Structure 1
Amino acid sequence: MASIGQIIFASMIVLIVIISGLIIFILAIAFSASQGAVESSSPSTVGNLEEDVVLDCRFLSNSGNVQLSDVSITWLKDAGVVYEFKNKAAQLQGQNTQFKNRAQMFSDAISTGNASLLLRNVQMEDDGVYRCTVNAPKVSGTTSVKLRVAAFTAPTFTRRADGSLFAEARRWFPEPEVSWLSQSGQLLNSSTHFFNNTAGIIRVTSVLEGPVTEDDTYTCLIQNGLVKAVSEATVSATRVAEKTYFIFNAASTKVPSIQLLFTLILILSGIQTSLSSG
């Protein structure tokens, strides 16, 4: 069993560590507030193959709007330059050829803190982590954006002569799962087929076994690990009205600093309790 002196000593060590952590945390907040911040509202983003995507990066300066001549912004991926802005102009001499004529910044909005990158005609090899580094008056920092590339399209619906409902989505990747729901949310019987083209992109066809009922709405779900398409098809005597919205699995994996601090305190408290009981 630990002596009283050992318990007191261990408790003091734990207390010193906790207080030091709090001081460092407070100083970090104060320093960040005085220096501004570089951050992304979408640290994980899904891009649609062969379409354009915006990688969000913004910098906050306590001095308000800044002069373009005072701002330096560099976007990097795998140690290669995606885009660089300096001295009020793009500096593309060292740009990775993969991004030639495809990367662009919103130069008119940079003075307001917008350092976002527009990436045109997204390709599979664009998948990865991008780092946005900003140096400006009272602002210096880097934030990361993880881009995941997928292919996804909304399905079109056709009511067939046998009363079934046919759905076709021309471009998906990775391979999705397909399910149908009734208006009340009940899982319905269906059959689905996938057709790969030479590039590995998948055409999806699915048939909801009939007969479907007029004026009812059926939901077709097409989803993989990155994207879910929720399509509502309302059947009438003359047509099928359709509506689709997409849900992206791009949640940030960042843990707030305050949460990390409380976790650390809980861990240290547990250590203290173990020492005391020992």
Structure 2
Amino acid sequence: MASIGQIIFGSMIFLIVIISGLIILILAIAFSVSQGLVESRSPSTVGNLAEDVVLDCRFLSNSGNEQFSDVSITWQKDSLSGVVYEYKKKAAQLQSQNPQFKNRAELFSNAISIGNASLLLRNVKLEDEGVYRCTISASKVSGTTSVNLRVVAFSAPTFTLQSNGSLFAQAHKWFPQPEVRWLSQSGQLLNSSTQFTNNTAGIIQVTSVLEDPVKDQDTYTCLIQNSLVKAISEATVTANKVTGRTYFMFSAASTKVPSLQLLLTVIFILSAIQ
């Protein structure tokens, strides 16, 4: 049976371990705060093939309103040699730029001083897909954030009213292959037929026909959707003419780990040690 002295000694050791762990955690948090904030407001981004996309990266000092004069910005892509883009001493440093991004990547130079390190990537290609990392080094701010870029192809359909009263829709650019549905003005699923035609690059042209006869002054919805993009197109028939409008919704899993989740994980590990 342990003596009172042994119990007290063991309790003191236990308390020292717990307090030391808490001090280390507090210092780690304080150190990270002292480095300011580097983050992306869009850690998962969808790019449309052959169009431009912006990979968001922002940095902020503790004061929150500082103008930055000496900033180093490096964009890299995982599993790819060289840099995507590098900015130092108020100028682009592209000696080690990967050839994949030559004349296609740039920063918003006029906005760097206010904490905008976002990357503009022109003419997006399928091989551009991947995880990009934005690293910032500036006065009172340093850190890295990541952006997961997914590349797809999507376009809005054009509508034509055919002589037999059916409604015809054609979208020239989709990848991967989507599903197509038609809905009535009340949201009812309608009869339709759809064809997919691949070009030499594997991009898909979507041709779909609403087989049910349409009514004047009614609005019909054509939904074209794959795993990442949904095109919601509304076609209104008026006096044998069709007017259409389309808006897009995007779905991409975030790769960013919330700081609160990370803190809770650390606390759980410390409690497990106890």
TM-score tier after normalising by the smaller chain length: 0.7 to 0.9
- Measured after TM superposition, the shift of residue 239 of structure 1 is 1.4
State whether residues 183 and 218 of structure 1, in contact with CA within 8 Å, keep that contact through their aligned partners in structure 2.
yes
Q: Give the Cα separation in 1 of the matches to 2:248 and 2:24.
A: 42
Gaps of 5+ in 1: 1-8
Aligned residue in 2 for 1:65 = 67
TM-score in terms of structure 1 length: 0.85
Matched, 1:177 2:179: yes
The C-alpha deviation readout for 1:141-169, integer Å capped at 9, x for no partner, is: 11111111111000011111111111000
Q: Please, which of 70, 81, 84 is the counterpart of residue 83 of structure 2?
A: 81
Aligned residue in 1 for 2:3 = none
- Measured after TM superposition, the shift of residue 37 of structure 1 is 1.3
Aligned residue in 2 for 1:115 = 117
State whether residues 148 and 255 of structure 2, in contact with CA within 8 Å, keep that contact through their aligned partners in structure 1.
no
The C-alpha deviation readout for 1:107-148, integer Å capped at 9, x for no partner, is: 111110010111111111111111111100111111111111
Q: Give the Cα separation in 2 of the matches to 1:250 and 1:23.
A: 38
Aligned residue in 2 for 1:236 = 238
Q: Give the Cα separation in 1 of the matches to 2:213 and 2:126.
A: 40
Q: Identity over the aligned pairs, expressed in percent?
A: 74
Q: Give the Cα separation in 2 of the matches to 1:198 and 1:247.
A: 27
- Measured after TM superposition, the shift of residue 25 of structure 1 is 4.9
Q: Give the Cα separation in 2 of the matches to 1:179 and 1:119.
A: 33
Aligned residue in 2 for 1:136 = 138
State whether residues 48 and 124 of structure 2, in contact with CA within 8 Å, keep that contact through their aligned partners in structure 1.
yes
State whether residues 162 and 210 of structure 1, in contact with CA within 8 Å, keep that contact through their aligned partners in structure 2.
no
2:84 aligned counterpart, secondary structure? strand
Per the alignment, do residues 112 and 193 of structure 1 end up closer, same or farther by CA in structure 2, a change over 3 Å counting?
same
Aligned residue in 1 for 2:93 = 91
| Larger deviation, residues 231-240 vs 108-117 | 231-240
The C-alpha deviation readout for 1:37-82, integer Å capped at 9, x for no partner, is: 1110011111111111111111112361111xx2111111124211
Q: Give the Cα separation in 2 of the matches to 1:169 and 1:20.
A: 62
State whether residues 194 and 204 of structure 1, in contact with CA within 8 Å, keep that contact through their aligned partners in structure 2.
yes
TM-score in terms of structure 2 length: 0.86
* Runs of 4+ residues over 2 Å off in structure 1: 19-33, 259-269
The letter for the 1-side match of 2:46 is V
Equivalent runs, 1:1-278 vs 2, <5 Å: 24-62=24-62, 64-67=66-69, 70-77=70-77, 78-262=80-264
What is the number of residues matched between the two proteins?
A: 262
Per the alignment, do residues 98 and 253 of structure 1 end up closer, same or farther by CA in structure 2, a change over 3 Å counting?
closer
Per the alignment, do residues 41 and 98 of structure 1 end up closer, same or farther by CA in structure 2, a change over 3 Å counting?
same
